[in-house]
A and B are shown apart, each in its own frame.
Chain A
Amino acid sequence: MKGLLSYVAKRLLWMLLTIWIVFTVSFVLMRSVPGNPFGGERNVPPAIERQLRARYNLDASPTQQYVEYLGNVVRGDLGWSYRLEDYSVNQVIAEGFPVSASLAIFALVFAIVLGVTAGVISAVYRGSVADAGMMAAAVMGIAVPNFVMASLAILLFVFGLNLFPAAGWGTLRQVALPAICLGLPVAAYIARLMRTGMLEMLTKEHVRTAYAKGLSKRAVIFKHVLPGAMLPVVSYLGPATARVLTGSLVLEKIFALPGMGSHFIYAATQRDYTLAMGMVLTYTVLLFVMNTLVDVSYAIIDPRVKLQ
C-alpha cells in the first residue's frame, strides 16, 4: 500500500512537469505560426486591433504574457475563448467534456464486453468456424478507419433499418451508433489480445492440474484461465482510453456530437490561443490520469507487477 501511494505521488509530480512542458511548448508554437486570432477577411483599423490585443493581454511582452498566463492556468483559469467570445475556456470544456466522456464510456464498455466475449469464444473453440470468422472480423475492425465504419453504419442502421437517428445528441438511441463505431476497432484489438492470452493460459500447468482434479470446463475457464488472460487486456486499457478519446474527433463531426474534439481542431485552425491551450492541457491531464489509473490497477490485480 505504501509503495502504491509513493508511486501515485511520483506520478503526480511527473504529471505536473509534463503539463508545464506541454504548456510551454504549446505557448511558443502557437505564437510562432503565422496568422493571428483577430484575422478576418474584413480588416479592422489599427486602433481597433490594438484594443483587441489589449483585451487579451497580447500587447504585453512575450515573457510577461507567459508568466501571467501560466499563473492563471495554475489557478485553474484558462481564460476567455478568442473565437467563441461568449464563453470562457472552462465553460467550453465543462460543456464538451461530459459528452466526450459519456461517449468514451459507452464505447469502452461496449468494446470490453464484445472484445472479451469474442476472444474467449474463439480461444475456447479454437479452429472452429466461429473462431475464424471472429478473428477475420477483428482484423477488419482494426484495419477499417472509423469514418468508413461510420458511413457504412449510417447506411445500414439509419437508412436501411431505420433503427437509429442520423445524428445529434441527447438520447440513448443517438449515442448508440457513434459509440459502436468508436468502440469496434478497440473491441477488435481486445478480442485478439484476449484470444492470445487465453490460449497461453490454457497451456499453463495449473490449468492442466485443474482439469486433472476433475473441475468442469466452465469452472476452469472462469476461475483459472480468465483472470490471467485478462491481464494484457487491462494493460491495453490505457492506450484504449486514449484511442476512444482522440478517435472521437472524426466521429463527432460525422454524428454532429457536441463533444470536445471539434473544439480542438477549430481552436488550432482559427488561432484561438486560449481554447487550443485549454484543449491541449485537458487532453494531457486526461491521458496521464487514465494511464496512471490503469498502471495502478494492473499492479493491484497482477501480483507479479511491482510499481516503480
Chain B
Amino acid sequence: MPPEIRRGFVVFAGVVALGALIWAAQFKSIGPADLSFQNGTDPKTLDPHRATGQPESRILFSIFKGLLEMVPGGTPDPETGLQPLVPGPAVAKSYTVSDDGRVYQFQLRDDATWNDGVPINAHDFVWSWTRMLHPETACEYGFQLYALPFAEEYNKAIVAEGDRVEVELWDRNGESPGSEPNIQNFPRGTMVYGTLKQILKPEAPVIPDDASDDVADRINGDWQAEWVYVVDVAEFDDQGNVDWDQVTSTESFCQSVTSSATNDDVTQVHHVLVAFDKLGGVEAVDDLTLVVNLDDPLPYFPYLVAYYPTFPVPRHCIKEHGMPLWTKPENIVTNGPYQVGMRLLRDRVRMVKNPRYFDADNVSISVIDAMSTESANTALNMYETGQLDWITDPPTTLMETLRERDDFLSAPQLTVYFYRINTKRPPMDDPRVRRAIAMAIDRTQIVEQVTKAGQVPAYSLVPPGIAGYESPPGLEPDLQEAKQLLTEAGFPGGVGFPKVTILYNTQDTHRAIAEVIQQQLQNNLNIKLEIQNMEWGSYLDKVNQFDYDIARAGWVADYPDPNTFLDMWVTDGPQNSTGWSNPQFDQLIRDAAAEGRPDLRMKLLAEAESLWIQDMPVIPIYFYVSLNMVKPHVKGFAPTPQDVHPLQLLSLGDRASVAGKSAQAPAESALASSSPTTVAAQRSDGESP
C-alpha cells in the first residue's frame, strides 16, 4: 500500500467517523405528552380481535368504544370501600333486556362515527362479531360470545348434516383455483349459503398410539380437509337475505386442493361453516338497532359487550388495507376517545384526543403516551424523576417502603394465584393427599414474607368482592387434619411418599413461593418436594401435555362474575389441564348458565365451588391486589377490582400546586391507609410471565 493511500485512508476514516457521529446525533423531536404511563411492554397488536393482555387492553379501551363501556358505578364494596366499574352506555345509548334475560336490544347513538367521519351503525357490529368468531381470525376471546346461538360451532368450525351453512369460495383477492391461499379472511371471497345435505368423508386415518395431541390434531385436520360437503344452495339477494327454503342447486365443496382438482364437480372452498351471521344470533334490525339473542340468560352479558374483543372494528379500513396493515398508525381507523398518534416499537404508543369522538367534550387530556418500559426499577426511576406520571408495576424489592407512600394506590383485585395439580398421577390422584397438602400450606407466611404487598391468603377459588356472591368456606390450614388425611391415604408421617415436583415459570417471586412451600411441606408433613424452573414456552408445553405434578399459575377475571373462575374446571375444559373431572360439578355449571334468577344462579355456582374445594384439583395460594403509583396531579384515578382505568376519565391538575401536598382525593387516601389489603407484588399471569 503506497504511503499516500495510507495517509488518505486515515483522513477518510476520520471523516467517516465524524459523519457517523453527526448521523447518530440526529434525533426527531416528538415533544412531550401531557400524561405518560408505564404500559409494561409493546402491545402485541392493535387489532381488538387479536389482542390479549393488559398492555393491549389499556390502549384498546382508549382507542375503541363498544356498545357499552366500563364506568364507575354501583355500590362500593362494603368492606374495602372499593368503587366497582359497571357497564354504562357508549355507542349504544340504551338497551333493554327481555324478561327471560335472553334477548338484548341495543339502541345505537346516531352521532357515533369513526375518526375518519364514517358513521357507525348496527351492521358494523354484526360484521365485527362475525370477524371475531371466524376461525381464521383466531381470536383468543371467541368463547365470550359462545352464548350466542351457533357462535361456538362457527368459531370451532363444527358443522353437521342439516345445518344451515355458509361457503366461502376460493376466490379471495388474488386467488384462482388451486392457487396459494390469501390469508385475508376479511374481506371474504364469494359467499354461498345453503343447507348442508351430506358430508362425504373418506376413510378415517389411523392415529398412532404414541402420537402427541398435536400430531393427532394435525392428522385429523388433514383428514377433515378432504371431506366433501354436499350443499343445497339457497337463494340469496343483494341485501344479504337468504331464503333457506328456496333451493337453487345442489353443489359439492371441499377444502382440499387435490380433491377439488381431481373431481370437476367439487369446488374448492376456504370453509364450510354454520352461517352464524344469518341465523339470528346477532341482528341489525335497522341501522341503529342491534338485537342479540342468547341461548342462556347471562347476567354478565353487558360486561362482555363492554370488553374490547366485542368492540366494533372499521370494516372499510380493514377492507382497504387488510390484516395486519390496517393497524399501522397511518392506516388505523378507530372510534374511541383517543386515536393512535404514533407507535414506536419498544418505546411508546402515543394517543391523541379524537375530535370526532361523540363525547369528546368530556375528554380532558390531549396527548397520552403509553410507554413500553419493562423494567420495574427503570419505571420507578422515571416516575421519581417526573418522566412518568403513573407506573403499573412497582418493584417488589422496594414494596415495604413504597406501600407507605400516599401516591401508592392498591386494592383487592379479581385475580388468583394457584397451584394446578395433575390429578392423573399418583399419589395426587387421591383427593385426600391434595387436601392434606392444601391444609399444610401456610399462606400467611407467603403473603407476609414473600409477596409483601398485602395480598390476601386464598383458601377458595373465587376472590372476594363480587357483588352477590360469597364463596363457601375453604380448606383452612389444619395440621392435625392434614396429617390424619395423609395417614388415611397410606403415607403415615409422610413415609413412602413419592418424589413430587413443583413446576414454575422463570420468575424470582414464583421461585421464592415454591421454596417456602417446599420448606413448609417438608416440616409439616415430612413430604419432600423438588422445584423445577422453566421458561414460559416450555412450561406451557409441559402443563398442556400433563407432564407435571404441581404447576403454578394465575387467573385474571374476564368479567366480574364467579363463572369466570369456575367454568374453566369443567371436564376437559381447555384451561383445565389438571385431568380433574366431576360430573356433578359440570352439571352445576350447566345449570347455573341456564338459570335466569340471579340468587339461585349464585347459589348453584357456590355449590359448584364447594365441590371443587372438596376435591382440591388446584390449590389456591393468594388473591392479588392491584398496584399503581400515580402522581398527585393526575385527577380521577381510583383503584378498581379489575385494575381497569379508563383514560378518558383522567384529568390533570396543576403540577406545581399539588407537588407539595401529599394527600390524594379523600376516598383514595382512606383506602390506601385503612384497608388491611393495600399493597401487592408480581403481576405475572397470562401472557406476561
| Chain B residue at minimum C-beta to C-beta distance from A91 | B345
Asked if B27 contacts A54 (CB within 8 A), the reply is: no
Of the stretches A12-20, A129-137, A262-270, the one at the interface is A262-270
Q: Give the residues in chain A near B344, CB-CB below 8 Å.
A: 95, 258
Of the stretches B226-234, B379-387, B429-437, B627-635, the one at the interface is B379-387
List the count of A-B residue pairs having beta carbons below 8 Å apart: 194
Task: Report the count of interface residues on B (CB-CB < 8 A).
Answer: 73
- For residues 21 through 74 of chain B, which have their beta carbon under 8 Å from a beta carbon of chain A? 21, 23-25, 27-30, 42, 44-47, 50, 52
Q: Give the residues in chain B near A172, CB-CB below 8 Å.
A: 25, 27
Within 8 Å of chain B (Cβ to Cβ): is A92? yes
Of the stretches A115-123, A160-168, A187-195, the one at the interface is A160-168
Asked if A258 contacts B346 (CB within 8 A), the reply is: yes
Cβ of A240 to closest chain B Cβ, rounded Å: 13
Q: Give the residues in chain B near A55, CB-CB below 8 Å.
A: 136, 138, 183
Asked if A40 contacts B687 (CB within 8 A), the reply is: yes
Given known A253-B375, A263-B346, A297-B9, contact A166–B24 (CB-CB < 8 A): no
Asked if A271 contacts B1 (CB within 8 A), the reply is: no
The CA-CA distance from A302 to B83 in the complex, in Å, is 75
Of the stretches B105-113, B537-545, B640-648, B659-667, the one at the interface is B537-545
Asked if B156 contacts A269 (CB within 8 A), the reply is: no
| Chain A residue at minimum C-beta to C-beta distance from B139 | A48
Q: Give the residues in chain A near B375, CB-CB below 8 Å.
A: 253-254, 256
Asked if A41 contacts B6 (CB within 8 A), the reply is: no
Within 8 Å of chain B (Cβ to Cβ): is A23? no
Asked if B575 contacts A253 (CB within 8 A), the reply is: no
The CA-CA distance from A43 to B553 in the complex, in Å, is 14
Asked if B217 contacts A49 (CB within 8 A), the reply is: yes
| Chain A residue at minimum C-beta to C-beta distance from B3 | A303
Q: Give the residues in chain A near B24, CB-CB below 8 Å.
A: 101-103, 105-106, 175
Asked if B47 contacts A85 (CB within 8 A), the reply is: yes
Q: Give the residues in chain A near B157, CB-CB below 8 Å.
A: 47
Within 8 Å of chain B (Cβ to Cβ): is A238? no
Within 8 Å of chain A (Cβ to Cβ): is B423? no
The CA-CA distance from A88 to B359 in the complex, in Å, is 35
Q: Give the residues in chain B near A80, CB-CB below 8 Å.
A: 324
| Candidates B25, B345, B385; contact of A84 at CB < 8 Å | B345
Asked if B6 contacts A300 (CB within 8 A), the reply is: yes
Within 8 Å of chain A (Cβ to Cβ): is B574? yes
Within 8 Å of chain B (Cβ to Cβ): is A75? no
Given known A45-B156, A85-B44, A106-B24, contact A166–B385 (CB-CB < 8 A): yes
| Candidates B5, B29, B220, B387; contact of A167 at CB < 8 Å | B387
Cβ of A305 to closest chain B Cβ, rounded Å: 9
The CA-CA distance from A187 to B94 in the complex, in Å, is 67
Given known A33-B538, A158-B385, contact A92–B574 (CB-CB < 8 A): no
The CA-CA distance from A51 to B44 in the complex, in Å, is 19
| Chain A residue at minimum C-beta to C-beta distance from B385 | A166
Within 8 Å of chain A (Cβ to Cβ): is B20? yes
Within 8 Å of chain B (Cβ to Cβ): is A76? no
The CA-CA distance from A39 to B536 in the complex, in Å, is 9
Asked if A262 contacts B140 (CB within 8 A), the reply is: no
Asked if B381 contacts A269 (CB within 8 A), the reply is: no
| Candidates A41, A271, A297; contact of B685 at CB < 8 Å | A41
Within 8 Å of chain B (Cβ to Cβ): is A10? no
Within 8 Å of chain B (Cβ to Cβ): is A22? no
Within 8 Å of chain A (Cβ to Cβ): is B13? yes
Within 8 Å of chain A (Cβ to Cβ): is B89? no
The CA-CA distance from A47 to B28 in the complex, in Å, is 45
The CA-CA distance from A27 to B239 in the complex, in Å, is 49
Q: Give the residues in chain A near B256, CB-CB below 8 Å.
A: none
Within 8 Å of chain B (Cβ to Cβ): is A66? no
Given known A109-B17, A167-B378, contact A41–B347 (CB-CB < 8 A): no
| Candidates B30, B140, B374; contact of A44 at CB < 8 Å | B140
Within 8 Å of chain A (Cβ to Cβ): is B320? no
Given known A35-B537, A256-B371, contact A54–B181 (CB-CB < 8 A): yes
Q: Give the residues in chain A near B334, CB-CB below 8 Å.
A: none
| Chain A residue at minimum C-beta to C-beta distance from B555 | A41
Within 8 Å of chain A (Cβ to Cβ): is B115? no
Q: Give the residues in chain B near A48, CB-CB below 8 Å.
A: 135, 138, 142, 155-156
Q: Give the residues in chain A near B155, CB-CB below 8 Å.
A: 45, 47-48
- For residues 192 through 215 of chain A, which have their beta carbon under 8 Å from a beta carbon of chain B? none
The CA-CA distance from A253 to B6 in the complex, in Å, is 41
| Candidates B29, B217, B381, B541; contact of A35 at CB < 8 Å | B541
Asked if B1 contacts A299 (CB within 8 A), the reply is: yes
Asked if B540 contacts A170 (CB within 8 A), the reply is: no
Asked if A50 contacts B385 (CB within 8 A), the reply is: no
Within 8 Å of chain B (Cβ to Cβ): is A64? no
Q: Give the residues in chain A near B6, CB-CB below 8 Å.
A: 300-301, 303
Q: Give the residues in chain A near B30, CB-CB below 8 Å.
A: 170
The CA-CA distance from A50 to B219 in the complex, in Å, is 11
Q: Give the residues in chain A near B535, CB-CB below 8 Å.
A: 35, 269
Asked if B135 contacts A43 (CB within 8 A), the reply is: no
Q: Give the residues in chain A near B324, CB-CB below 8 Å.
A: 80, 85-86
| Candidates A46, A84, A109; contact of B42 at CB < 8 Å | A84
Asked if B345 contacts A300 (CB within 8 A), the reply is: no
- Among B1, B156, B183, B384, the one with the most A-chain Cβ atoms within 10 Å of its Cβ is B1
Asked if A51 contacts B136 (CB within 8 A), the reply is: yes
Within 8 Å of chain A (Cβ to Cβ): is B327? yes
The CA-CA distance from A257 to B382 in the complex, in Å, is 13
| Chain A residue at minimum C-beta to C-beta distance from B325 | A86
| Candidates A47, A95, A300; contact of B135 at CB < 8 Å | A47
Asked if A300 contacts B5 (CB within 8 A), the reply is: yes
Cβ of A46 to closest chain B Cβ, rounded Å: 4
Q: Give the residues in chain B near A34, CB-CB below 8 Å.
A: 537-538, 541-542
Cβ of B547 to closest chain A Cβ, rounded Å: 10
Q: Give the residues in chain A near B44, CB-CB below 8 Å.
A: 83-85
| Chain B residue at minimum C-beta to C-beta distance from A59 | B218
Within 8 Å of chain B (Cβ to Cβ): is A138? no
Contact mask B1-15 → A, CB, 8 Å, 1/0? 100011001100100
The CA-CA distance from A156 to B253 in the complex, in Å, is 71
Q: Give the residues in chain A near B685, CB-CB below 8 Å.
A: 41
Within 8 Å of chain A (Cβ to Cβ): is B468? no
Asked if A254 contacts B327 (CB within 8 A), the reply is: no
Given known A96-B346, A166-B381, contact A270–B537 (CB-CB < 8 A): yes
Within 8 Å of chain A (Cβ to Cβ): is B452? no
- Among A52, A59, A166, the one with the most B-chain Cβ atoms within 10 Å of its Cβ is A166
- For residues 215 through 262 of chain A, which have their beta carbon under 8 Å from a beta carbon of chain B? 252-259, 262
Within 8 Å of chain A (Cβ to Cβ): is B686? yes
| Chain B residue at minimum C-beta to C-beta distance from A234 | B13
Q: Give the residues in chain B near A168, CB-CB below 8 Å.
A: 347, 371, 382, 387
- For residues 167 through 183 of chain A, which have their beta carbon under 8 Å from a beta carbon of chain B? 167-172, 175
A46-B220, A154-B381, A172-B27 known; 8 new pairs, CB 8 Å cut-off, are A42-B140, A45-B574, A85-B44, A166-B382, A171-B29, A256-B373, A258-B344, A270-B537
12 contacts between A and B (CB under 8 A): A33-B537, A34-B541, A35-B537, A36-B537, A41-B687, A48-B135, A48-B156, A49-B138, A167-B382, A256-B371, A256-B379, A297-B13
Contact surface of A with B, Cβ cutoff 8 Å: 33-36, 39-52, 54-55, 59, 80, 83-87, 92, 95-96, 101-103, 105-106, 109, 154, 158-159, 165-172, 175, 252-259, 262-263, 269-271, 297, 299-301, 303
Instruction: List the 3 closest pairs (A to B, CB-CB), nearest first.
Output: A35-B537, A258-B346, A166-B381
